[in-house]
Structure 1
Amino acid sequence: MTSVRTIDVHAHVLTEEMMRLMRREAPDIGPTLSEVDEHGGVLQVGNIVQRPFPRGAWDLELRLRDMDEAEVDVQVLSVCPQTFLYDRDPALTATLSAIQNDEIARIVSQQPDRFMGIATLPMQDPERAVAELRRSMTQLGLRGAQIGSHVEGRNLDDPALEPLWATAAELDAFILVHPQKIAGGDRLKSYYLKNLIGNPLDTTIAAASLVFGGVLERYPNLKFCFAHGGGFMPYQTGRMNHGYDVRSEGKVNLKEAPEVSIRRLYFDCILHFEPALHFLVETFGADHVLLGSDYPFDMGMTDGVRQIRSLRATAEQRNLILGDAAAVLLGGSAHAPAKRAAGRG
């Protein structure tokens, strides 16, 4: 009997080669590392500082050991949100996106049994974003893209992004939506609330914008996956429906209740709370919940495989979350033989 191949759809990477090439292209904002030790260092990208920046982000041998320990067969590599760079000149962001996408594709080509990849896009210029998504999927073999929860304050239902959604639907792209530059930051400075509340809040705004903007009605087969369990969206579906029923604003772009579009979304499993994960699976279906870790960051879920295997669910449901659903969405094989030999690099 074959076992499911575990696929982690939410894992970030920023290799030293990526950093070097980005610095060569843009010395003022190219990523730099400092205070490096065996655990990690401090990352700076322009005026963005990430402290700590875990070593697994760039150390592929450590990453493979960590994957083995976590029983993850495959990671879907995406860039670190610090390098989205939507606030920069579009041509420069397009160039830096291409550098990162090329490097992700190179890693995948060297370890195709352990890695898949998704692109980053210059979202501030939809025409360039379309071109880079098409190049990344048709020439580099990447499976879609990771995008931020907004584009410098413009929500994802912005009409300028319509060509990107049409192209993503045409290419059958997998789109991971990740929070960045969160809303309400002035009120979330204490207690790490910028992450604890800010990240799921911004994810919720992104999901609601796509739903109420009618994007999922126009492109019902688009594959949007929302990080960190979908923020607050899955747990407020009833409120969204009620607002649609009693107010006119929600009907501007929607012909059906928002729940219809919400049920087209996908969510990673990073909730850190079994009752919430159980609710997500039972309410939206195991085929819409995907294994994610947020590797290598400290708010991630390093024991996700073990948590899913102990979840109150059927074996079929657990296998869907662990990899079967992701394999279909990403165009891979869920039951390909896994080669999880310790120390391989």
Structure 2
Amino acid sequence: MTSVRTIDVHAHILTEEMMRLMRREAPDIGPTLSEVDEHGGVLQVGSIVQRPFPRGAWDLELRLRDMDQAEVDMQVLSVCPQTFLYDRDPALTAALSSIQNDEIAKIVRQHPDRFLGIATLPMQDPERAVAELRRAMTQLGLSGAQIGSHVEGRNLDDPALEPLWAAAEELGAFILVHPQKTAAGDRLKSYYLKNLIGNPLDTTIAAASLVFGGVLERHPNLKFCFAHGGGFMPYQTGRMNHGYDVRAEGKVNLKEPPEVSIRRLYFDCILHFEPALRYLVDTFGADHVLLGSDYPFDMGTMDGVRQIRALRATPEERNLILGEAAAVLLGQQGAPVKRAAQAG
């Protein structure tokens, strides 16, 4: 069995202490838990209700047991998307972001062999977002940030965000893009389509905006990772190229075909379908595919490590996906391997 340190780059957290501190700062927003049992509860953040809200989101002992069971050595902790709060006053969102980032950093310090962390940012105020990213990385020791797929309807190629991308490139930030408030909501109300289709759809819009907006051409060293296998983006690269060839609109901000920028992106492995994962690895390289779980939510997986180990791939490719590529992106290469079954 490989001795590579397995690193899960997509894992959410909202501890009871985070909730308490956020309620003290903003009583009208929460977050609050109700109907709590051994499996979870109901989370309310302002008008947002998450049902069910799995216990692993706040129960650290359960999280560590689940990680051991899943053979995950390290998780990269990020906030739950319900707490992005891009629709609130920027100063308040900045304060609530700071609380969550401080608490994530505290957990990382307490369990440095099991956790890394990435920040949440007040994206509706790019100046504040830059300041919080710098603080999170230079003072708290976090490795980057998780951001939403849009900022209250503004796509990620919005010119106002340019200072943030410049700072993220300068700092070497790992940026996980996660869907939220997804498009086409009125048509996706049935069958859980708001998640089954809505989440990958919004991820695709975010990726396409960054690509066709020229953000990756201007900042080729940015490290964007897209959740849930990149949405539909990796599987429509040919269509993106064709549109660039035959239409003028795609050339407004791009000097090279979109595939050049798409190949600069990273994707987690949460696809639930081996042929799709195999395509992702074959097309974009194992060094651009990262282990993810979406812990603790129901559309994630506890079997990611086992799925990668069973993937038809070379040992070198499997090791890259399991953790070697993430270690480089997160500045962790050379750190000692510690098997999950032996850890705290």
Normalised to the residue count of structure 1, the TM-score between the two structures is 0.98
Q: Residue 340 of structure 1: CA displacement?
A: 2.4
Paired residue for 1:194?
Answer: 194
Paired residue for 1:151?
Answer: 151
Paired residue for 2:182?
Answer: 182
Q: Mark the CA change 1:308 to 1:21 in structure 2 (over 3 Å): closer, same or farther.
A: same
Distance 1:337 1:265 in 2: 26
Q: Residue 230 of structure 1: CA displacement?
A: 0.1
Distance 1:57 1:288 in 2: 27
The answer (yes or no) to whether the contact 2:5–2:339 under 8 Å persists in 1 is no
Distance 1:343 1:319 in 2: 20
Paired residue for 2:266?
Answer: 266
Distance 2:61 2:40 in 1: 14
Q: Residue 339 of structure 1: CA displacement?
A: 4.5
Paired residue for 1:278?
Answer: 278
Look up the equivalent residue of 1:232 and give its one-letter code.
F
Distance 2:78 2:265 in 1: 19
Distance 1:185 1:233 in 2: 20
Distance 1:224 1:30 in 2: 30
Distance 1:55 1:102 in 2: 21
Paired residue for 1:217?
Answer: 217
The answer (yes or no) to whether the contact 1:61–1:343 under 8 Å persists in 2 is no
Give the alignment of 1:97-112 within 5 angstroms.
97-112=97-112
Matched positions, count: 344
The answer (yes or no) to whether the contact 1:31–1:44 under 8 Å persists in 2 is yes
Q: Residue 106 of structure 1: CA displacement?
A: 0.1
Distance 2:60 2:185 in 1: 33
Distance 1:343 1:44 in 2: 33
Distance 1:195 1:154 in 2: 20
Distance 1:334 1:154 in 2: 39
The answer (yes or no) to whether the contact 1:6–1:305 under 8 Å persists in 2 is yes
The answer (yes or no) to whether the contact 1:291–1:304 under 8 Å persists in 2 is yes
Give the alignment of 1:107-118 within 5 angstroms.
107-118=107-118
1:232-281 superposed Cα distances (whole Å, 9 cap, x missing partner): 00000000000000000000000000000000000000000000000000
1:90-144 superposed Cα distances (whole Å, 9 cap, x missing partner): 0000000000000000000000000000000000000000000000000000000
The answer (yes or no) to whether the contact 1:324–1:334 under 8 Å persists in 2 is no
Distance 1:228 1:163 in 2: 27
Paired residue for 1:252?
Answer: 252
Paired residue for 2:311?
Answer: 311
SS of the residue corresponding to residue 255 of structure 2 reads coil
1:281-302 superposed Cα distances (whole Å, 9 cap, x missing partner): 0000000000000000000011
The answer (yes or no) to whether the contact 1:228–1:271 under 8 Å persists in 2 is yes
Paired residue for 2:20?
Answer: 20
Paired residue for 2:55?
Answer: 55
Distance 1:261 1:284 in 2: 12
SS of the residue corresponding to residue 120 of structure 1 reads coil
Give the alignment of 1:116-135 within 5 angstroms.
116-135=116-135
The answer (yes or no) to whether the contact 1:113–1:339 under 8 Å persists in 2 is no
Q: Residue 335 of structure 1: CA displacement?
A: 5.7
The answer (yes or no) to whether the contact 1:2–1:335 under 8 Å persists in 2 is no
Root mean square deviation, CA, Å: 1.1
The answer (yes or no) to whether the contact 2:2–2:319 under 8 Å persists in 1 is no
The answer (yes or no) to whether the contact 1:4–1:334 under 8 Å persists in 2 is no
The answer (yes or no) to whether the contact 1:146–1:175 under 8 Å persists in 2 is yes
1:213-243 superposed Cα distances (whole Å, 9 cap, x missing partner): 0000000010000000000000000000000
SS of the residue corresponding to residue 119 of structure 1 reads coil
Q: Which moved more, 1:49-58 or 1:333-342?
A: 333-342
1:40-69 superposed Cα distances (whole Å, 9 cap, x missing partner): 000000000000000000000000000000
Distance 2:52 2:343 in 1: 25
Distance 2:334 2:296 in 1: 24
Q: Residue 336 of structure 1: CA displacement?
A: 1.5
Paired residue for 1:6?
Answer: 6
Q: Residue 342 of structure 1: CA displacement?
A: 6.4
1:282-329 superposed Cα distances (whole Å, 9 cap, x missing partner): 000000000000000000011000000000100000000000000000
Look up the equivalent residue of 2:329 and give its one-letter code.
L
Q: Residue 3 of structure 1: CA displacement?
A: 1.0
For structure 2, the residue ranges without an aligned partner over 5 or more in a row are none
1:13-37 superposed Cα distances (whole Å, 9 cap, x missing partner): 0000000000000000020000000
SS of the residue corresponding to residue 254 of structure 1 reads coil
Paired residue for 2:203?
Answer: 203
Distance 2:96 2:202 in 1: 25
